[in-house]
Amino acid sequence: MEKSFLKEHFDASKESFFEEWKEFLKFQSISPDPAYAKDCQKCATWLQKKLISLGFESELIQTSQHPVVFAERKGPEGAPVIVLYGHYDVQPVDPLDLWESPPFEPVLRNSRMYARGAQDNKGQLMYGLHAVETLIKQDALPCTLKYIIEGGEECGSPGLGGILDEWGERFEADILIATDSGTLSKDLNTITMGFRGVVGLTARLSGLRSDLHSGVHGGVAPNPATEMARLIASFHNPDGSIAVEGFYDDIEPVSEEDLAVANSIPVSDEMYISLSGVPPVGGEKGYSFAERRGLRPTIEVNGIHSGYNGPGQKTIIPAHSVVKLTSRIVAGQDPKKILSLIEKHLQKNTPEGLTLEFSEQEAGGPALCVSSSSTPVHELREVLSEVGTGTVAFMWEGGSVPILTGLSRVCKAEPVLFGFGLEEDNIHAPNESFSLEMYEYGFLSMGLFLSRQGKLS
């Protein structure tokens, strides 16, 4: 199929596409807040109806949380089977007063759709669905499609995660497509080559009867705030590498080819500073930006809290201290083992006189790595080179989507990960939006990719 064919259909139908997208965005499908359970249910039912109208057989799978929309449309005998993953749930909307228009009253402004979920993931799900619809209507869909659309991604996918093993056989496919990621810039269509895995825990140092007077007890009682700082400092060597014993042992080496591709992405300090406010000086010395971001593991403190936080000075030795941390892991590292190594490190370095306790340990999942020799990735690259400026980049994502690791395991499928999200979309923040241009890129990419999977009979 040619791009021009799809583009023509997009231009003819885009008004109705955007109206339907708005309908989808009106559902207040906030998954982390149980108050919105009914909205999630309604949103799932709406999706199911839409899929049935396109000729899919569909059912809502009840889970421990919100339902998963499963739908299947058989292609020609022997055609490749493709799973399309997405999620209909969205992040909470607070602080509400920072929104310029209500989060669940979608509105088009300056060629962007504004609403909670406009991009993540309702927008990126919808352009794919509209591409599928177009191919079906034009009798140009040569493969079997299975939709798996969950309602709990913003909570770490407890529902879908819980039914994976039971449903694994029904989910089996050749290719797993997920469009829940971003693109490096408007002019750089991006293939995601993997996600880091993640593990996390909360550690607490205590033992003091209560806050103690820092004058009366200073120099005598061990200080849980100071000692927590020393514990945290013990995680890293002066060169930024991680000092936890055995931490790096199982890492699979990155191929020269992948490394060259990863390092070919141009990122200047200025670009990074304008994005984040700080120069990219974190992580291990001796590794490039792209390596430190996607191919090397980390231990990051997400929060540390102890003692007084009001105005002026309160002269106490705080009764306890708490650190919350997550570690991103890469290919070869086992989540449970890494979690256990971190715990051992903390136990070994527990300061005399204080008690260390762990809670909220989560071995979220291993890294997901796309093989650079994968046929679908080569095909996707070809497709993306026909969209926008035609420049294609490969990105190893620093973040984690544990459910995709699990899905690709049970689907036994090659993962194909792309998306058109940009920093400017403000996902997880007030005034989330998605540009119509990126919506069109997504539509064209998905349409072209699917139209070339298998042969029409």
Using CB under 8 A as the binding rule, whether residue 78 contacts its own copies is answered as no
User: In angstroms, what is the minimal distance from the CB of 279 to its own copies?
Assistant: 5
Does the bond joining 223 to the residue before it have cis omega, within 30 degrees of 0? no
String marking each residue 389-428 x if it binds its own copies according to CB under 8 A: --------xxxx----------------------------
Phi, psi of 194, deg, nearest 5: 160, 170
User: In angstroms, what is the minimal distance from the CB of 326 to its own copies?
Assistant: 5
Q: Are 165 and 324 in contact (CB under 8 A)?
A: no
Using CB under 8 A as the binding rule, whether residue 81 contacts its own copies is answered as no
HSE-up (13 A, CA, CB side) for residue 229: 7
Please give the full DSSP string across 77-119, using - where no structure is assigned: TT--EEEEEEE--B----SGGG-SS-TTS-EEETTEEESTTSS
Using CB under 8 A as the binding rule, whether residue 75 contacts its own copies is answered as no
Nearest to 25 by CA among 109, 97, 119, 92: 119
Nearer to its own copies, 13 or 234 (CB): 234
Sole binder of its own copies in the list 66, 116, 130, 292 (CB under 8 A): 292
Helices 436-451 and 375-384, packing angle to 10 deg:
130
Using CB under 8 A as the binding rule, whether residue 344 contacts its own copies is answered as no
Sole binder of its own copies in the list 275, 347, 382, 437 (CB under 8 A): 275
Q: Are 183 and 189 in contact (CB under 8 A)?
A: yes
Pairing of strands 392-397, 316-317: unpaired
In Å, what is the CA distance from 392 to each residue of 385, 387, 415, 423?
6, 9, 18, 18
User: In angstroms, what is the minimal distance from the CB of 273 to its own copies?
Assistant: 9
Nearest to 272 by CA among 297, 290, 299, 296: 290
Using CB under 8 A as the binding rule, whether residue 276 contacts its own copies is answered as yes
Q: Which of residues 354-393 bind its own copies (CB under 8 A)?
A: 354, 360, 362
Using CB under 8 A as the binding rule, whether residue 212 contacts its own copies is answered as yes
Stretch that binds its own copies, among 12-20, 93-101, 200-208, 385-393 (CB under 8 A): 200-208
Residue with tokens 């949380």: 65
The tokens for 38 are 């009914």
User: Which residues 6+ apart lie within 8 Å of 34 measured at CB?
Assistant: none
Sole binder of its own copies in the list 220, 239, 253, 457 (CB under 8 A): 220
Using CB under 8 A as the binding rule, whether residue 188 contacts its own copies is answered as no
Using CB under 8 A as the binding rule, whether residue 431 contacts its own copies is answered as no
Q: Determine the Cα–Cα distance for residues 331 and 94; give it in Å rounded to an integer.
A: 36
In this structure, the number of other CB atoms found within 10 A of the CB of residue 261 comes to 19
User: In angstroms, what is the minimal distance from the CB of 243 to its own copies?
Assistant: 12
Using CB under 8 A as the binding rule, whether residue 73 contacts its own copies is answered as no
User: In angstroms, what is the minimal distance from the CB of 96 to its own copies?
Assistant: 18
In this structure, the number of other CB atoms found within 10 A of the CB of residue 163 comes to 20
Q: Determine the Cα–Cα distance for residues 48 and 127; give it in Å rounded to an integer.
A: 16
Residue with tokens 């990074």: 272
HSE-up (13 A, CA, CB side) for residue 178: 31
Q: Element (H or E) spanning 322, and its range?
A: strand 321-329
In this structure, the number of other CB atoms found within 10 A of the CB of residue 389 comes to 11
How many residues bind its own copies (CB under 8 A)? The answer is 81
Stretch that binds its own copies, among 20-28, 185-193, 196-204, 372-380 (CB under 8 A): 196-204
Q: Which of residues 166-185 bind its own copies (CB under 8 A)?
A: none
Using CB under 8 A as the binding rule, whether residue 345 contacts its own copies is answered as no
Nearer to its own copies, 348 or 378 (CB): 348
Using CB under 8 A as the binding rule, whether residue 35 contacts its own copies is answered as no
Using CB under 8 A as the binding rule, whether residue 64 contacts its own copies is answered as no
User: In angstroms, what is the minimal distance from the CB of 123 to its own copies?
Assistant: 19
Using CB under 8 A as the binding rule, whether residue 271 contacts its own copies is answered as no
Nearer to its own copies, 326 or 340 (CB): 326
Sole binder of its own copies in the list 45, 138, 226, 350 (CB under 8 A): 226
Q: Which of residues 118-147 bind its own copies (CB under 8 A)?
A: none
Stretch that binds its own copies, among 99-107, 246-254, 257-265, 289-297 (CB under 8 A): 289-297
Using CB under 8 A as the binding rule, whether residue 15 contacts its own copies is answered as no
Q: Element (H or E) spanning 14, and its range?
A: helix 3-26
Sole binder of its own copies in the list 12, 96, 281, 456 (CB under 8 A): 281
Burial 60-76 (b: 16+ CB within 10 A, else e): bbebebbbbbbbbbebe
User: In angstroms, what is the minimal distance from the CB of 220 to its own copies?
Assistant: 4
The tokens for 97 are 């007063």
Stretch that binds its own copies, among 98-106, 125-133, 283-291, 405-413 (CB under 8 A): 283-291
Using CB under 8 A as the binding rule, whether residue 332 contacts its own copies is answered as no
